[in-house]
Amino acid sequence: MPYEFEEILETIRMTEIEHFDIRTVTMGISLRDCHDRNIDVTKQKIYDKLFRYGKNHVKFAKEVESQYGISIANKRISVTPISIPFDSCNAEEFIEIAKTLDKAAEDIGIDYIAGFSALVQKGMTNGERELIKAIPFALSQTKRVCSSVNIASTKAGINMDAILLMSEAIKLTAEKTKDHDSIGCAKLVVFANAVEDNPFVAGAFHGVSEPEVVLNVGISGPGVVLDAIREAGNVDLQHLSEVIKKTIFKITRAGELIGRKVAEKNGIPFGIVDISLAPTPAEGDSIADILKAMGVEDVGAPGTTAALAMLNDSVKKAGLMASSSVGGMSGAFIPVSEDMGMIRAVQAGNLSLEKLEAMTAVCSVGLDMIAIPGDTPASTIAGIIADEAAIGVINDKTTAVRIIPAFGKKIGDFVDYGGLLGKAPIMEVRKLCSEGFVARGGRIPAPMRSLTN
Amino acid sequence: MKFSEEEIRKITFEAINELGDNAPPEAIKELVRKRVEALGGEYQFKKNEASFGRVILTSFGMNHPGIVASVTKALSDANCDIQDLSQKILGDFYTMIMVVDISGSPKDLRDIQEDLNKVAEEQKIKIYLQHEDVFRYMHRI
Distance from CA of A2 to the nearest CA of B (A): 9
| pLDDT tens-place values along chain A, 453 residues long | 788 888 998 998 888 888 788 999 999 999 999 999 999 999 999 999 999 999 999 999 999 998 998 999 999 999 999 999 999 999 999 999 999 999 999 999 999 999 999 999 999 999 999 999 999 999 999 999 999 999 999 999 999 999 999 999 999 999 999 999 999 999 999 999 999 999 999 999 999 999 999 999 998 889 899 999 999 999 999 999 999 999 999 999 999 999 999 999 999 999 999 999 889 888 888 999 999 999 999 999 999 999 999 999 999 999 999 999 999 988 889 999 999 999 999 999 999 999 999 999 998 788 999 999 999 999 999 999 999 999 999 999 999 999 999 999 999 999 999 888 999 999 999 999 999 999 999 999 999 988 877
Q: Which pLDDT score, from 0 to 100, does residue A102 have?
A: 98
CA–CA dist B41, B75 (Å, integer): 33
| Residues B97, A5: C-beta atoms closer than 8 Å | yes
CA distance A254 to chain B (A): 6
> Closest to A254 (Cβ–Cβ): which among B88, B95, B137?
B137
- DSSP E strands in A32-112: the ranges are 72-79
Measured between beta carbons, which residues in chain B are less than 8 angstroms from residue A12? Answer: 58, 128
In this complex, the residue of B58, B99, B138 whose CB is nearest that of residue A250 is: B138
ipTM of the complex as predicted: 0.81
pLDDT for the residue A334 = 92
CA B73 to chain centre: 14
pLDDT at A196: 94
The DSSP call for residue B104 is T
What is each CA distance from A223 to A19, A339, A369, A420, A438, in whole angstroms?
6, 12, 20, 15, 41
Amino acid identity at A239: H
Which pLDDT belongs to residue B108? 85
Give the pLDDT band (50/70/90) at residue B105: confident
From chain A, the residues in CB contact with B102 under 8 A are none
pLDDT attached to residue A193:
96
Cβ of B130 within 8 Å of Cβ of A68? The answer is: yes
Question: Taking CB atoms and an 8 Å limit, are A11 and B135 in contact across chains?
Answer: yes
Mean predicted lDDT score pLDDT of chain B: 85
Distance from CA of A3 to the nearest CA of B (A): 8
Contacts of A37 (CB under 8 A, 6+ apart): none
Single-letter residue type at A374 = G
Question: Would you give the DSSP letter of residue A94?
Answer: H
What is the nearest CA distance from A221 to chain B, expressed in angstroms?
A: 14
User: CB contact, 8 Å: B113 with chain A?
Assistant: yes
| Nearest chain B CA: its distance from A5 CA (Å) | 8
Q: Answer for the pair A218, A278: CB distance below 8 angstroms, yes or no.
A: yes
Q: How far is B72 from chain A (nearest CA, A)?
A: 17
Residue of chain B with shortest Cα separation from A258 = B134
Phi, psi of A397 (to 5 degrees): -140, 165
Q: How confident is the model at residue B80 (pLDDT cuts 50, 70, 90)?
A: very high
Residues of B in contact with A250 (CB under 8 A): 138-139
Rg, Å, chain A Cα set? 21
Residues of chain B found within 8 Å of residue A66, distances taken between Cβ atoms: 109-110, 113
* Contact (CB, 8 A) for A229 and A241: no
Helix axes A91-108, A39-54, angle to 10 degrees: 30
Which of B113, B135, B137 lies at the smallest CB-CB distance from A8? B135
Q: In this predicted structure, what is the pLDDT of residue A58?
A: 96
- Count Cβ–Cβ pairs < 8 Å, chain A vs chain B: 65
Q: Choose the closest CB to A66 out of B113, B133, B137.
A: B113
* Domains of chain A (ranges, CATH numbers): 26-192 (3.20.70.20), 217-444 (3.20.70.20)
- Confidence at residue B50, expressed as pLDDT on a 0 to 100 scale: 58
* Cβ distance of A5 and B95 shorter than 8 Å: yes
B109 touches chain A (CB under 8 A): yes
Nearest to A257 among B86, B110, B137 (CB): B137
- The secondary structure of residue B47, as a DSSP letter, is P
For chain B, the farthest-separated pair of C-alpha atoms sits apart, in whole angstroms, at 65
Residue in B with minimal Cα distance to A66: B110
How far away is chain A from the Cα of B67, in angstroms, using its nearest Cα? Answer: 19
pLDDT confidence of residue B117: 94
CB contact under 8 A, A7 and B139: yes
- Give A-chain residues touching B59 at CB under 8 angstroms: none
Mutate to test the interface with B, among A17, A67, A224, A258 (most CBs of B within 10 A): A67
Contact A91, A134 (CB under 8 A): yes
Residue among A158, A183, A161 at smallest CA distance from A170: A183
A119 beta partners: A150
What pLDDT sits at residue B5? 65
Helices (H), A233-377: 237-266, 287-294, 304-322, 340-347, 353-360
Note the pLDDT of residue B49: 56
Residue A439 contacts residue A405 (beta carbons within 8 Å):
no
Nearest CA in chain A to B130: A68
* B1 has a pLDDT exceeding 60: no
Number of H helices, E strands in chain B: 5, 4
What distance in Å separates residue A55's CA from the closest CA in chain B? 19
CB contact under 8 A, B128 and A12: yes
Contact residues on chain B for A69, CB-CB shorter than 8 A:
128-131, 134
- What's the DSSP call for residue A277? B
Q: Do A9 and B138 touch (CB under 8 A)?
A: no
Is residue B45 over pLDDT 60? no
Q: Is the pLDDT of residue B47 over 60?
A: no
Q: Tell me the DSSP string of A42-62.
A: HHHHHHHHHHHHHTTHHHHHH
Q: How many CA atoms lie within 13 A of A40 on its CB side?
A: 0
Choosing among A6, A8, A245, which should be mutated to test the B contact, i.e. which has the most B CBs within 10 A? Answer: A8
**Residues within 8 A of A (CB atoms), B 62-101 only:** 84, 86, 88, 95, 97, 99
**Closest residue of A to B108, CA-based?**
A67
Min Cα–Cα distance to chain A from B11, Å = 27
